[in-house]
Amino acid sequence: MVDTLYARVKALAQSRHAEAALAAVAFAESSFFPVPPDILLAPMALAYPSRAWRFALIATVASVAGGMLGYAIGALLYDTLGAWLVQLYGYGAKMDALKATYAQWGWLVILVKGVTPIPYKLVTITSGLLAYNFPLFVALSAVTRGARFFLVAGALNWFGEPVRNAMERNFVAVLAAFVAVTAAGFFIAMKVF
């Protein structure tokens, strides 16, 4: 099953629909979807190292656009969709603490959480809910999401061949590490806020 999953992700990463799929996942992840775009960015950058920077730019632009949707969910739909999403990810009881942190350190929260595996959708929804300065939110999102995706693309471009070989030999271990990092991000976010 894992070999089939790897084959499908690799095939999608090498298909003509790869960039659209990357944009869709990056957009959705910033507002409601739990799977980070790195799951596509990594194999795409490994398959086409010369286009890694382009892929990072696509992920960044789509992620910032998705963040704007998350902001709108927080600003306009918090009582319905926003609250449901926050509850779904287990942060309902932590919203008061997050609001207090945002009041003092909103810009830092956006910058730090945009780079980490902590779910960015919580930042975007909370930013809208608290009416954080929208132009500043967009600028900070572009910086932090760009840093994340360009760092991933750069690392894969620089260390591409060893990473590709490791993924092909030990995809289960790589997938497990990816799931562990994502789960750790959720766990850390639950403990911090």
pLDDT confidence band for 6 (50 / 70 / 90): low
pLDDT of residue 190: 52
Looking at residue 81, its pLDDT comes to 86
Q: And the tokens for 176?
A: 């497990």
Domain that holds residue 86: 2-192
Per-residue pLDDT at 23: 96
Q: How many domains does the chain have?
A: 1
Q: Give all strands (DSSP E) within the chain, no chain letters.
A: none
Q: Per residue in 58-101, pLDDT tens?
A: 999 999 999 999 999 989 988 888 888 778 777 777 777 777 88
HSE value, Cβ hemisphere, 13 Å, CA-based, for 136? 11
Give the pLDDT score at 12.
Answer: 75
Q: Which residues contact 60 (CB under 8 A, 6 or more apart)?
A: 26, 142, 145, 146, 149, 150
